[in-house]
Amino acid sequence: MQDQYSQDRAEAGSRDAVDRQYNGGHKDGTEPAPISYTPPVPDGPDRPWTRGRRTRWWLVLLADTISVALVACFAAASAHDLAQVPGLLVCGGIAVVVAWAVAWLVRRPGDHLEVGWPDGGCVITATWAVWTGLCAWGAAAGAIAGAGGMASFAVMLAAFLAVFMGGWRSLYGYVKAHDSLVPKGVQRRLDAQQRDR
């Protein structure tokens, strides 16, 4: 750019004209053209990144499935019985599918199951209730070995579901909210423009 700058100065013969072109300065006293900026995702308290669309199912299915698998593994590990993993995976899979259906039906037409509240809370609560019920039924029927202490299991399951299923929803919300911020350099120019008016 420096070579082009020198060349333009030599051709124009006027240092001020070229400086105005390269520096954006207005040495003739005219006001610079006002700027405006609209972030790709406008900021606001009502989660504007969800406007005009429904649930991002690709994200919900993938993240909740991974969360259920992690919860099943951690629950079995906390019981010191990794033989429970397949049974917990089946119960968790059934529970999360039922929870998706319940949350989708309850929250229609504006369902956004990827947000933390209220849609995500509905998914997490329904998953916990169905999963706990299935494990209690399986323990009573003897289908799930070593599933004793249902009260402690229910508390542990609630904690793991809150961490994993609530965690990814919180991170998603944070990232989307961060995307809606105005870059600092642009904000400085907008502020300067407001002061000059």
> What does the pLDDT look like over 121-146, one tens digit per residue?
888 999 999 999 988 887 776 656 55
Tell whether the model's pLDDT for residue 111 goes beyond 90: no
Lowest mean pLDDT segment, chosen from 44-48, 92-96, 137-141, 181-185: 44-48
Q: Cα(197)–Cα(58) distance, rounded to whole angstroms?
A: 47
Angle between helices 57-78 and 85-107 (to 10 degrees): 140
> From CA 24, how far away is CA 19, in angstroms rounded?
8
pTM of the model: 0.63
Q: What angle do CA 155, 156, 160 make, to 5 degrees?
A: 120
Structural domain spans, the chain: 55-179
Residue 119 has pLDDT above 60, yes or no: yes
Tell me, what's the pLDDT at 37? 66
What's the CA gap between 95 and 69, in Å, rounded?
12
Q: How far is CA 122 from CA 45, 111, 142, in A?
A: 20, 11, 30
Nearest residue to 150 (alpha-carbon basis) of 94, 53, 79: 79
47, 57 contact by CB (below 8 A): no
- Report the C-alpha gap between 88 and 158 in whole angstroms: 14
Residue 172 has pLDDT above 60, yes or no: yes
Q: In whole angstroms, how far apart are CA 102 and each of 5, 32, 107, 185?
A: 65, 56, 8, 45
Record the tokens describing residue 180, joined without a space: 């809606």
